[in-house]
Amino acid sequence: MSTADLAIRTQGLRKVFRRQHAVDGIDLAVPRGSVFGFLGPNGSGKTTTIRMLLGLTAASAGTIEVLGERMPRALPSVLPRVGALVEGPASYPFLSGRANLHRFDAADPRSDPASRTRRVDAALDRVGLTHAADKKAGAYSLGMKQRLGLANALLTQRDLLVLDEPTNGLDPQGTREVRNLIRSLADDGTTVFVSSHLLAEIEQVCTHAGVMRAGSLVAQGSLDELRRVGTARVTVQTPDRGDAHIVLTRLGLHVGAASRSDGLVADLPDEVPAETVTAALVEAGVRVRGIAVGGGTLEDRFVALTGEGFDVAG
């Protein structure tokens, strides 16, 4: 993929804090027009990476290109084309949500005062805050503050939207609304970069993903590509679970914890054909009610990459 096809590109990006590598030489490639999920456990380096992309902290080494321009020298021309919600939204607690957005927009020298009221109202409506627009932001719940931050990011048309844990503090209905909002933005041609530790959030809304572990980018690509790399699995339905476990283990298969009451699930190495598994079970007298082979789930893949689990739904 050429540089022109990428909304974000980094090479050897590194951030060191007191000899600790928070981000350790990552090469990130975010396609234009994608919804890119930046996934990893808390503390894996996601927010530090985002702060470097936006010029909020300096990189210790490496290069950054955002929307085709070299950062941080192109910050003045790039940032007006980027909307961001990072480390929780900031607001003036003594002002209403509507007044906050008016003030934020007025601080942007490129915004059009003549269209400000219309754009503020449209942003409030898009994030579902119209009913609370005249309520003081200090009285907002965490989820409402999150929505206000999203509205601020949407005051003008953006080529790139960077969202750090955008559903933090939202109830299930609010989470669904944010997912729908992200999809609609992508349909309009905006590239959306979503950082999250929630696997379901990534699976339901993203087209591509990158996986962070302890400061390193351990995988990236389309969701389909990431799923295909996963280990194949065989599911055996049988009432003879004990005997089946012995047979599978003898064949060198690892029986996983995901095994069910009506059978077993095991990793299937490339060198062991499914036919060999079936024949061995039948020869051992195991009653096989069903057998199926499929790829590992996205969750299996991410757990294998990071060595730990992810919150599935929050």
- Collapsing DSSP to helix, strand or coil, 114 comes out as helix
- Kindly tell me if the per-residue pLDDT of 239 is higher than 50: yes
272: domain CATH number? 3.30.70.100
The segment with the largest mean pLDDT, out of 60-69, 75-84, 151-160, 213-222, is 60-69
The reply to whether omega before 72 is within 30° of 0 (cis) is yes
Facing residues of 290 across strands? 237
Give the range among 8-17, 94-103, 218-227 with minimum mean pLDDT: 218-227
- Say yes or no: 34 and 176 in one domain: yes
Most confident of 17-21, 35-39, 173-177: 35-39
**pLDDT of amino acid 215:** 93
What letter would DSSP give residue 7? E
Residue 303, domain member (yes or no)? no
Are 160 and 8 within 8 A, CB to CB? yes
For the segment 9-15, the average pLDDT, to the nearest whole number, is 97
Q: Are residues 184 and 253 in the same domain?
A: no
pLDDT bin (cut points 50, 70, 90) of residue 171 is confident
pLDDT band at 264 (very low <50, low <70, confident <90, very high): confident
State both tokens at 285. Answer: 């007298």
Contacts of 2 (CB under 8 A, 6+ apart): none
Tokens of 31: 């396609």
Among 180, 199, 222, identify where a domain stops: 222
Average pLDDT over residues 248-275: 77
What amino acid is encoded at 112 in this protein? D
Position 314 scores a pLDDT of 44
Q: How far apart are CA 263 and CA 245, in angstroms?
A: 9
Is pLDDT at 313 greater than 60 in this prediction? Answer: no
Please indicate, yes or no, if residue 278 is contained in any of the structural domains. Answer: yes
Query: How do strand 232-237 and strand 290-295 relate by DSSP bridges?
Result: antiparallel
> Cα 192 to chain center, whole Å?
10
More confident residue, 169 or 126: 126
Number of domains in the chain: 2
Whether residue 271 is contained in a domain is answered as yes
**What are 21-78's pLDDT values in tens digits?**
899 999 999 999 999 999 988 888 999 999 999 999 999 999 999 999 999 999 999 9
Q: In percent, how much of the chain has pLDDT > 70?
A: 89
* Domain coverage including residue 285: 231-295
> In this structure, is residue 69 part of a structural domain?
yes
- From residue 136, alpha-carbon distances to 93, 139, 148 in Å are 6, 6, 11
Whether 51 and 153 map to the same domain: the answer is yes
Long-range contacts of 70-75 (CB under 8 A, 24+ apart): none
pLDDT of residue 14: 96
Domain presence at residue 309: no
Does residue 307 have a pLDDT over 60? no
Residue 168 lies in a domain: yes
Domain assignment present for residue 307? The answer is: no
